[in-house]
Structure 1
Amino acid sequence: MATEQRPFHLVVFGASGFTGQFVTEEVAREQVDPERSSRLPWAVAGRCRERLQRVLERAALKLYRFYGEPVVKACIENGTSCVDICGEPQFLELMKWKYHEKAAEKGVYIIGSSGFDSIPADMGVIYTRNKMNGTLTAVESFLTIHPGPEGLCIHDGTWKSAIYGFGDQSNLRKLRHASNLKPLPVVGPKLKRRWPISFCRELNLYSIPFLGSDVSVVKRTQRYLHENLEESPVQYAAYITVGSITSVIKLMFAGLFFLFFVRFGIGRQLLIKFPWLFSFGYFSKQGPTQKQVDASSFTLTFFGQGYSQGLSTDKNKPNIRICTQVKGPEAGYVATPIAMVQAAMTLLNDVSDLPKAGGVFTPGAAFSKTKLIDRLNKHGIEFSVISSSEV
């Protein structure tokens, strides 16, 4: 008499322990292996729910950094579009280089950096361009994080992502060299980069260059809009405000430590093992508390310049200035899910407004003609014009 075969489930017990976290990563890695013909339902079990959650987050981070390509490849092979929040330029640009043509052939959309990195910045530049009564030529953005009374803390997953990204700069340079892309034309005066530490008079705050993926993503968007839609390219620079001179000094030392240690294997291991120490308390393995998340918010302010309609951009000085803002809740764990979900809803509902052929896109390239900004406005990420005037 044949016995009924029960479905098989794989459970990693003790996953919250030191060894268990590595077992969990190996199980997860096995499940995304492209050579596998099937997937097993699996779960984790342990004594501490919070530690289990951190183990899963760590596994997801490592897998997408090192095994994200099989996910992209599988989506294209199966005719499935994909939206993700990975913001690492090397991964994003490699996927564009390797899979854009294949995705276009399949008619699917692979859209990266669809979280806080880099929808506010990318769509913010497009919003600023759309609100200017003329030709926008250059934009500077300033990110301000508003912590609550209990301060600011960021989960070390973001810290690790930055470590892996900066540690891979040589490969990114090789990839860009191999792509052999022509420089975009500069319209109007060339945008001058600020000093590593500068004072923003408009905001009355000190600022440093923003080292996230925003500049890379916005530049790729501007290239697409120029080459495919014949739109005038916008120059872009990104900064983050740091408040007092004391904060400037702390961040300067943190940045120096980071840039030195990230160059070496043992240095990267130390950065990963002791995020709180080397980031001067900004990053931790525990991440923010719920109170910190609830009380935090962000403001991204854009200062743009350009030319009024009918004014030549060849010899004249820019005669229009515009200031816009994107405001939202806590960036990493509230705004990012909102941005990603609304990007996915836009992908599903605004099909006629997407690029006609599929491919690998930045958010701005994919969504510039859609209603994504309207959707974000309705869900707590608000775009607005602060001022606009002719000089």
Structure 2
Amino acid sequence: MAREYDLIIFGATGFTGQYVVMEVARVADEEKLTWAVAGRHVEKLKQVLEKAENVTGKSLTNVGVIKADVSDPNSLSEMAKKGKIVLNCVGPYRFYGEAVVKACVENGTSHLDISGEPQFLERMQLDYNSTARDNDCYVVGACGFDSIPADMGTVFLEQEFDGQVNSVETYLNIKAKHGFRLHYGTWQSAIYGFACANELKPLRKKLFPQRLPECQPKLKSRGPLHQNPIVKSWCLPFPGSDRSVVMRSQRYLYEKEKKRPVQMSAYVQFTSLIAAVLMISTATVFGIFASFKFGRSLLEKYPKVFSFGAFDHKGPTKKEMDGTSFVLTLAGKGWSEKLAEPTDVNKSRPEKELVVQVSGPEPGYVATPICLVQAALVLLREADKLPSEGGVYPPGAAFGKTSLIKRLTKYGVKFETGLKSSL
């Protein structure tokens, strides 16, 4: 079936969607893309294109405008039929994502999203992998800051390691000169992700009935609060989707390529002990309120109060975004020699270490559009390097053999080798 557009941005009028529109506008001429924007309100979509024209200096008169609404399955189906790939920017995906995935896979259209919601990502794999495979299309979630730096960073570390990687620990550092804020949609996703965390265990039992082999030596947790010697700062466990996404990629590589799975832990850095303790206090209050209905309604009603200004309905200003960047440090440990089989046990302690870094601009609304758009271009251009079958995949499984890392580095999300040493 001939498709009118290479890419369709669904949810183009949303806070993140507008930045995705600008990013596609910047690269469309060079990549010779045909593309469209989609959403509920045609006039608002036209306004988004006008704004993108003013910001980028690109003429967007040939960009398509499609009316589509998550509450209208027929409109989603008609939208999906017009594009090769839908970039879904409408979250929280728990509430609005499945209808778009369903419309895409039923029409053989590939679907990329920027979800950081493990329950949604894993449920889509459970429910739609077979249909996507049968209809020869790809559904790849977590294609934004959650969780391309961590997942593709792990791929990059393994490529550079020259040996057998046993474990990877990641450390996220957000640098903000003028304060760091995120939009309300991310806050809402976090509320319901925490509230419904008990869904994950039974979901994973259905999705992954067979456990991964237990690799030795086992990666030990560094505890809830610790001063980390690798990044020389106070750290807490990172509550995002990175670990779940990376481990889904590792499972795919084990099952399809018999590659020994890498163990992984994720942490976030803080500038001081006081900042880390304040975060613990904030997270405790958040957890208590998110655990019951009235508390969730308060969190949703007063995001700025409960997050101490980190989340609101307006999102960050241009000044705040311009002054914000991230560095994700990945520390890998293993051996110089590869094991013959993925279930083999190396009786010696890991004797090799490699540190790599993924760095880039403001993560939510600058790096995320870069990651999403470059992932879409790889999906569009490098079919021979994707998994041989359509299906639902995490980024590392889908794009591990493509030029995505090279493309991201070109556009400002850099993958670089750090310190090599013996332990």
Q: Which range, TM-score by smaller chain?
A: 0.7 to 0.9
| 8 Å CA contact 2:122, 2:207 repeated in 1 | no
**Counterpart position of 1:226:** 254
- C-alpha root-mean-square deviation of aligned residues, in Å? 2.2
Letter matched to residue 60 of structure 1: V
Runs (4+) off by over 6 Å:
9-13, 37-40
1:246 matched to 2:261: no
**Counterpart position of 2:389:** 357
1:278 matched to 2:306: yes
**Counterpart position of 2:134:** 105
Relative to structure 1, the CA distance from residue 132 to residue 10 in structure 2 (aligned partners, 3 Å threshold; closer, same or farther) is closer
Stretch moving more, 226-235 or 307-316: 307-316
**Counterpart position of 1:330:** 362
**Counterpart position of 1:299:** 327
Stretch moving more, 271-280 or 310-319: 310-319
Q: Separation in 2 of the partners of 1:85 and 1:143?
A: 18
Letter matched to residue 294 of structure 2: I
Stretch moving more, 113-122 or 238-247: 238-247
Give 3-state SS (helix, strand or coil) of 1:60's partner: coil
Relative to structure 1, the CA distance from residue 143 to residue 37 in structure 2 (aligned partners, 3 Å threshold; closer, same or farther) is closer
Which residue of the other structure, out of 407, 410, 416, is the alignment partner of 1:384?
A: 416
Aligned length: 349
Q: Separation in 2 of the partners of 1:37 and 1:306?
A: 47
Which residue of the other structure, out of 77, 84, 95, is the alignment partner of 2:113?
A: 84
- 1:137-148 alignment to 2 at 5 Å? 137-148=166-177
- 1:33-48 alignment to 2 at 5 Å? 33-34=72-73
Gaps of 5+ in 2: 1-39, 45-66, 80-88
Give 3-state SS (helix, strand or coil) of 1:140's partner: strand
**Counterpart position of 1:212:** 240
Q: Separation in 2 of the partners of 1:37 and 1:298?
A: 35
**Counterpart position of 1:4:** none
Stretch moving more, 81-90 or 136-145: 81-90
Q: Separation in 2 of the partners of 1:385 and 1:361?
A: 26
Relative to structure 1, the CA distance from residue 308 to residue 11 in structure 2 (aligned partners, 3 Å threshold; closer, same or farther) is closer
Stretch moving more, 348-357 or 30-39: 30-39
Letter matched to residue 143 of structure 2: S
1:66 matched to 2:113: no
**Counterpart position of 1:19:** none
| 8 Å CA contact 1:32, 1:71 repeated in 2 | no
Stretch moving more, 139-148 or 166-175: 166-175
**Counterpart position of 1:54:** none
Relative to structure 1, the CA distance from residue 74 to residue 316 in structure 2 (aligned partners, 3 Å threshold; closer, same or farther) is same
Deviations 1:220-243 (A, max 9, x none): 000000001111100000000011
Q: Separation in 2 of the partners of 1:37 and 1:119?
A: 26
TM-score (norm 2): 0.78
TM-score (norm 1): 0.85
| 8 Å CA contact 1:89, 1:216 repeated in 2 | yes
Deviations 1:101-149 (A, max 9, x none): 111111100000000000000000110011001001100000000001x
Q: Separation in 2 of the partners of 1:337 and 1:161?
A: 18
